[in-house]
Amino acid sequence: MASITDNISEGLKYPFNDPKKLVTFGAFFAALNIIFFAITELSVKIVRVFAVTQGNTLAFKFSQIPQDNVYAIAILAIISFIISLIIMGYQYNVMKFSIDEKNDLPGFSNIVNILINGVKYFIVSLIYNIIPIVVLVCGVELMAVQNGDYIVSIISLILFIICNFLLIMGLANMIDSDKFTKAFDLREITDKIANLGWVRYVGIILFAVIVYVIIMICVGIILMIISTFIALAVNQAIILTAIISIIEGLFISPYISIFFNRVYGSIYRESIQ
């Protein structure tokens, strides 16, 4: 059985096995960042129009909002959701390659299959997080009514952590068996975690998170330096934000995404050995 550091170090090296595929995957993140940036800009314009419009009724204020902006936001939101599904589908394939001990990165030749896998990845993730989200919403409502009752919110956080620890093994169980229902076979999932060892299972995930935090701190410093040079050359906030979003999308997000899913797959592989 590999050590915890072996799992993490292998996950850190894996994305560099095929830089071309890494950047190709990053193109989806970059596109997503640009779309989110565009949606934010359009939303700000809508809020600005809503705020400055003179009128006594909400209906009148809403009637003054440019419909083209609303339609554009709706279309961009749909496109961003499709791109997000493709990203999750690729994460699905990365985990599958890790479970099968393949050292190359998945390709993009069958985009339909990637999209289908993304739908499964999304639905399973959503179902696992429904209860924490519902409890969180209830907690927020109670805080508004009782002014400072944080107990339900704390419970929601605990549920979120527990559910996502189980989600990792649930996704891997589904991917390995290629059966959607296996994502929710809690007895099988907990048995595999027990086979690996709960302490080891939690330890690998926490270690991966710590490494992620360290990477993001370093990346943040680098991006700050790059931003300074770009700001001196361009001196326009919109262009600067767009450039940084593209850089982050092309290189950082895909690397982190592949790293985590590679580690998740290796955890599952050890649990069944």
Which residue, 83, 80, 53, 78, is CA-closest to 65?
53
Domain annotation covers residue 220: yes
Which pLDDT value is given to residue 251? 94
Which pLDDT value is given to residue 138? 75
What CA–CA distance (Å, rounded) separates 241 from 249? Answer: 12
Domain annotation covers residue 144: no
Domain annotation covers residue 87: yes
Task: Quote the DSSP letter at residue 181.
Answer: G
| Token couple for 127 | 């179902």
Digit-by-digit pLDDT tens for the chain (273 residues) are: 667 788 899 999 999 999 999 999 999 999 999 999 999 888 887 777 766 666 656 666 666 667 777 889 999 999 999 999 999 999 999 999 999 999 999 999 999 999 999 999 999 999 999 988 887 777 666 666 665 557 777 888 889 999 999 999 999 999 999 999 999 999 999 999 999 999 999 999 999 999 999 999 999 999 888 888 887 777 677 788 888 889 999 999 999 999 999 999 999 999 988
Domain annotation covers residue 86: yes
Which pLDDT value is given to residue 268? 95
Can you tell me which residue has the tokens 């969180």? 136
Which pLDDT value is given to residue 23? 96
* pTM for the model: 0.91
Domain annotation covers residue 224: yes
Which pLDDT value is given to residue 137? 77
Domain annotation covers residue 114: yes
Which pLDDT value is given to residue 233? 76
Domain total for the chain?
1
Domain annotation covers residue 89: yes
Which pLDDT value is given to residue 70? 83
Which pLDDT value is given to residue 19? 95
Q: Which domain holds residue 20?
A: 4-120+179-271
10 burial class (0-12, 13-18, 19+ CB within 10 angstroms)?
middle
Domain annotation covers residue 150: no
Which residue, 157, 94, 158, is CA-closest to 121?
94
What CA–CA distance (Å, rounded) separates 169 from 183? Answer: 8
